[in-house]
Amino acid sequence: MSKTAKIYLIYAGLGLIPILLAIVPHTEPKGPFAHPVTTYFPYPLYMGFALVGFLCFKINQIRILFSVLLLLGICFLLFNPLTFQMIGIKSWGIYNVVAMSFPLTLAVMFSIRETRPMDLPNFSRLLSSLIPFIVLGYLASRDVSLFNKIALFKILPVKGLMLPQLALVSLAIFGTVVFLQKDRIVKPFVRVLGITMLPLMGAIWAGFSLIKFLWYDKNKVEAEFLVAVEVSFPSLHIVAAFTIICAILLHTIFRTYWHRVYVDELTDIANRRALDERLSTMTGEYAIAMMDIDHFKDFNDTYGHDEGDNVLRLVGGLLSEELGDKVYRYGGEEFCAVFMGVSGEDAYMFVNKVRRKLEERDFYIRKPNSKREHTSRSNRKKKKRNGKKVHVTISIGLASPGRKSKTPGDVIKLADLALYQAKKKGRNRVVVWDTEKNKASTPV
């Protein structure tokens, strides 16, 4: 299982907490004295959502910014569900509007392509994506009977489901948009927004349960009074849900920033900046390998730069698969691997294994001078038979610290010299720099 998949599972596990809290039976409410903490807790959450929105703006992701601002507004509404009571929308209506409209709004928002931050179409996109909120909010305030029919509309004969069934349809539409999303930058964040639906719907479920409990076996006047008093103060379920949502979004946006700063976009492995920072803290025993793709310039000239990029992805993927976080893209067609606490002899075994695996792997030129299409695995196998098969190899230079090469910068220079010798001796081999004799040795 990949690291990203594990993080998504952790997010989902946290998202289930408000749902579990919603299952716990409610006790008799005691008014504002029952909420000494939750009354003031929303303010740090508002600041957390505002921080996520600011970071989204800084990376020019307007759709993500809109979605976070919308979550901020929903957070305020669910903490203060009587905000629109003056125009006839009570807490029950607020919960229904949010449950049915929010996933559908996100589906509309992320179905439209990204544009520049200050373009006028961004404002029209915001308005168009808010249509579900506007329509349902209007019905909740002006045509209560029609709104009740929509909120209570039954698609399946399911008992005990507090959420409106149309909310499930809205979630299914948003799930389809998440599945079909092609934007590599936006897709991880959209997936995370999908996961945040768990705590959000759990909080709404808890809100419906509370209203039902307050209305149960009480006269109308007393029930309306209890609902008005209790929902005026954030419940534990609402606070827990939005605390989890805010934490997930903050972690995701910081991971996005880290990815942009320290990960090479083409090969999806750590970049030169990450390597420089790691080298600046290295001490003790270690080994550094410099790796270069053989005949890469000729390959680019013959098959085009798009196929050259695919070769870089192939090599980067194999290195990442075999060496994990030890490998970095140094620049161009050159890679670097850092082995902490490993001698040169042991590091040689690792890099030579990678070299052999790459040598044995086939690479098919299916569509020269153009980008490869996204196809199914079965279609890719069919196309392989019709494409030209080539072999991709790498040359590797390996060095360790010695008496005259104590710093990582010195070791990299020696590894480069060993790499030059590997190229000179015929490529597709590993050459180790002997620090004692100050010359290249062990060609393979």
Residue 274: both structure tokens together = 């990450």
For the segment 338-363, the average pLDDT, to the nearest whole number, is 88
> What is the pLDDT, as a whole number, of residue 240?
85
Q: How far apart are CA 149 and CA 164, in angstroms?
A: 10
230 and 304, same domain (yes or no): no
287 and 427, same domain (yes or no): yes
Q: How far apart are CA 196 and CA 248, in angstroms?
A: 8
Kindly report the CATH number assigned to the domain that includes residue 423: 3.30.70.270
Tally of domains in the chain: 2
pLDDT surpasses 70 at 367: no
Residue 347: both structure tokens together = 């590091």
Q: Which domain holds residue 93?
A: 3-262
Q: Write the pLDDT tens digit of every residue in 173-231.
A: 999 999 988 887 788 889 999 999 999 998 888 777 766 655 554 555 444 544 454 45
**Domain end among 229, 262, 295:** 262
> What is the pLDDT, as a whole number, of residue 18?
82
> What is the pLDDT, as a whole number, of residue 440?
57
**Domain end among 237, 262, 287:** 262
Q: Write the pLDDT tens digit of every residue in 50-100.
A: 999 888 888 878 888 889 999 999 988 888 777 787 787 887 888 899 999
277 and 183, same domain (yes or no): no
Q: Is residue 395 part of a domain?
A: yes
- Known catalytic membership, residue 222: no
Q: Is residue 267 part of a domain?
A: no
pTM strictly above 0.85:
no
84, 141 Cβ separation under 8 angstroms: yes
164 and 243, same domain (yes or no): yes
Q: Write the pLDDT tens digit of every residue in 273-285.
A: 999 999 888 888 8
277 and 224, same domain (yes or no): no
Q: What angle do CA 437, 438, 441 make, to 5 degrees?
A: 75
Q: Is residue 217 part of a domain?
A: yes
Distances (CA, A) of 125 to 68, 101, 233: 15, 16, 33
For the segment 322-339, the average pLDDT, to the nearest whole number, is 91
284 and 387, same domain (yes or no): yes
Question: Which span out of 117-131, 151-165, 169-183 was modeled with the highest average pLDDT?
Answer: 169-183
Where helices occur in 361-426 by DSSP H, the ranges are 377-386, 408-424
**Domain end among 262, 284, 307:** 262
Exposed/middle/buried for 89, CB within 10 Å: 0-12, 13-18, 19+?
buried
16 and 80, same domain (yes or no): yes
pLDDT surpasses 70 at 437: no
Find all residues with CB under 8 Å of 15, minimum gap 6, and list them.
195, 196, 197, 198, 199, 202, 244, 248
List phi, psi (to 5°) of 287: -140, 145
pLDDT surpasses 50 at 378: no
For the segment 241-262, the average pLDDT, to the nearest whole number, is 90
pLDDT surpasses 70 at 431: yes
425, 431 Cβ separation under 8 angstroms: yes
Q: Is 158 helix (H, G, I), strand (E, B) or coil?
A: coil
* Weakest mean pLDDT among 128-142, 165-179, 210-224, 384-398: 210-224
Query: Which of these is catalytic: 114, 230, 285, 333?
Result: 333
> What is the pLDDT, as a whole number, of residue 33?
46
314 and 334, same domain (yes or no): yes
Q: How far apart are CA 201 and CA 22, in angstroms?
A: 10
